[in-house]
């Protein structure tokens, strides 16, 4: 019997997770994607055309496509010769065009998913335009996901809280199909991914937390392998768990961490960026099930979760 598996996140972490889940026939996968992205090509399109950010959604659609490798080689290329298009990705421009032609962002996502024959659904957590704002411990503010995601080199203050500021409405409401997906879910997976810019923005949208409260789904958290300067530099594994749970109506049922440590050379490079390895917890707080395995992959000096290892684990424990 197939299971309804819902993922919550954004960015490269959710791409890795979905890349593994895609090929498990027992799972019907739906991805809920943060709409807080404001950097690079995505940020320019938001500013110039007033559209919803396409970048993270595009990654998720590609991850769930059987044509993923070919799709990435084309859709993630960036224009170079045309000054107006310079540094925009082909996929971001295509998704923006589809959304504007349909006059509906979610329909544009469905159209791209149709072309790429995705095995699953990708849903924006909201179709209301908003800016992610972080208040730091000294009372200063950072406006936009890009500013939070790439902190200033001399930034010593930590994030005290984050919230969403609507552009045109009194509040940011959840996309209705997200509520249906949460209601149907057997398992909801949070992470891996940046805490304040990929995972938590989904939980700041009105209606998401309330829907999870009435859901019977098992809640699963996949912990990060490395900390990130400006967001989680002093975090241990329990800090990650507790911070996400602040935005949930109940605690996680299962928490997953990697126990494979990168070699000293890789760790030294990360330490230059004030990023450190997250040692797995000895035990999870409360009655949460703790699962610890080698889930790491290193490519080009970048530490990531291995999609196949992660998918194999999830297939066994869900």
d(CA 39, CA 182): 28
Give the orientation angle of helix 105-116 with respect to helix 90-102, to 10 degrees.
120
Contact (Cβ atoms closer than 8 angstroms) between residue 271 and residue 233: no
Cis bond leading into 315, ω under 30°? Answer: no
Per-residue pLDDT at 264: 95
d(CA 307, CA 46): 30
Q: Which residue has the tokens 């090509």?
A: 41
d(CA 223, CA 257): 5
Q: Which residue has the tokens 């609507």?
A: 166
Residue 25: CB atoms within 10 A of its CB come to 8
Helix runs in 226-306, H state only? 237-245, 264-272
Per-residue pLDDT at 153: 58
Kind plus residue range of the DSSP H or E element containing 11: helix 11-21
Q: Is 122 exposed, middle or buried (0-12, 13-18, 19+ CB in 10 A)?
A: buried
Q: Cα 273 to chain center, whole Å?
A: 21
The fold adopted by the segment(s) 3-317 is Rossmann fold (3.40.50)
d(CA 167, CA 131): 7
Per-residue pLDDT at 167: 84
* Residue whose C-alpha is closest to residue 199's, from 177, 228, 170: 228
Contact (Cβ atoms closer than 8 angstroms) between residue 276 and residue 227: yes
Retrieve residue 272's tokens: 């230059």
Retrieve residue 173's tokens: 């409401």
Beta strand pairing call for 141-143 and 218-222: unpaired
Q: Provide the residue-wise pLDDT of the chain in tens; the chain has 318 residues.
A: 799 999 999 888 999 999 999 999 999 999 999 988 776 777 677 777 777 888 899 999 999 999 988 988 899 888 888 878 877 889 889 999 999 999 999 999 999 999 999 999 999 999 999 989 999 888 889 888 888 877 655 666 888 999 999 987 788 999 999 999 999 999 999 999 999 999 999 999 999 999 999 999 999 999 999 999 988 988 999 999 999 999 999 999 999 999 999 999 999 999 999 999 999 998 888 889 999 999 999 998 999 999 999 999 999 999
d(CA 271, CA 177): 41
**Residue 275 CB-half CA count within 13 A:** 17
| Distance between first and last Cα of the chain | 12
**Residue 7 CB-half CA count within 13 A:** 34
d(CA 193, CA 272): 20
Per-residue pLDDT at 240: 96
Per-residue pLDDT at 77: 86
Per-residue pLDDT at 154: 62
Q: Which residues contact 41 (CB under 8 A, 6 or more apart)?
A: 55, 78, 87, 88, 89, 92
Domain regions of the chain by residue span: 3-317
Per-residue pLDDT at 151: 65
Contact (Cβ atoms closer than 8 angstroms) between residue 40 and residue 57: no
């Amino acid at each position: 019997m197939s299971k309804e598996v819902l993922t919550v996140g954004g960015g490269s972490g959710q791409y890795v997770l979905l890349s593994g889940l895609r090929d498990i026939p027992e799972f019907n996968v739906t991805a809920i994607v943060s709409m807080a992205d404001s950097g690079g090509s995505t940020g320019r399109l938001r500013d110039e055309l007033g559209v919803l950010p396409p970048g993270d959604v595009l990654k998720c659609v590609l991850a769930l496509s059987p044509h993923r490798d070919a799709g990435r080689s084309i859709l993630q290329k960036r224009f170079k010769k045309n000054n107006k298009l310079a540094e925009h990705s082909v996929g971001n421009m295509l998704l923006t065009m589809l959304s504007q032609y349909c006059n509906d962002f979610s329909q544009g996502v469905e159209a791209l998913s149709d072309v790429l024959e995705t095995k699953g659904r990708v849903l924006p957590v909201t179709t209301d335009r908003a800016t992610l704002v972080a208040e730091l411990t000294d009372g200063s503010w950072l406006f936009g996901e890009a500013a939070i995601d790439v902190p200033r080199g001399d930034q010593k203050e930590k994030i005290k809280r984050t919230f969403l500021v609507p552009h045109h409405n009194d509040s940011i409401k959840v996309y209705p199909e997200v509520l249906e997906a949460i209601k149907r879910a057997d398992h909801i997976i949070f992470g891996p991914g940046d805490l304040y810019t990929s995972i938590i923005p989904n939980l700041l949208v009105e209606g998401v937390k309330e829907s999870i409260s009435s859901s019977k789904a098992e809640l699963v958290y996949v912990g990060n392998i490395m900390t990130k300067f400006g967001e989680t530099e002093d975090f241990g594994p329990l800090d990650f768990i507790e911070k996400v749970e602040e935005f949930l109506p109940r605690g996680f049922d299962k928490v997953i961490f990697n126990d494979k440590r990168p070699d000293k050379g890789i760790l030294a490079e990360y330490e230059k960026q004030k990023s450190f390895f997250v040692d797995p917890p000895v035990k999870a707080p409360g009655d949460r099930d703790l699962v610890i395995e080698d889930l790491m992959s290193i490519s080009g000096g970048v530490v990531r979760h291995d999609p196949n290892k992660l998918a194999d684990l999830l297939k066994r424990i869900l």
